[in-house]
Amino acid sequence: MLKQEDVDAEEESLRKAIRELSEDKRAEFYRQAGKVVKDPDTYAALNWFFIAGLHHFYLGRWQWGLIDLGALFVATGCFLVGLVWPGVILLLIVYSWELWQLFRSQIIVQDWNNRLYRDLLRRY
């Protein structure tokens, strides 16, 4: 489980390493980072408005996105064949998990961006 203080400490460590880069490398780093960094508000909006797992696709976590999408299709199939309660239960499970992620969207995306920064720093 992600802890805010751990993610904040890693971010500060990464910022220090970025500051230690030469001016040219730092400028290039930020150009590259600007192409891949993710916005927590976009992640939260995709989570809030679409139960289909689009926020997972936004971060490149295809397996989780496909699981969410698959659960939505299975629940819809349950409703279509008259299995209302299994569909409702499945949707409630997915909704509960996604609601938890919505409330933690800031730290999830902050951790994701830290990983991106760490990977980019290895090139410099």
Domain definitions of the chain by residue range: 38-124
Q: State yes or no: pLDDT of 74 exceeds 70.
A: yes
DSSP 39-73: -HHHHHHHHHH-TTSHHHHHTT-HHHHHHHHHHHH
Question: What pLDDT does 51 receive?
Answer: 67
Q: Percentage of residues in the chain with pLDDT exceeding 90? A: 80
Q: How far apart are alpha carbons 78 and 91 in whole angstroms? A: 11
21-50 pLDDT per residue, tens: 999 999 999 999 999 999 999 999 998 876
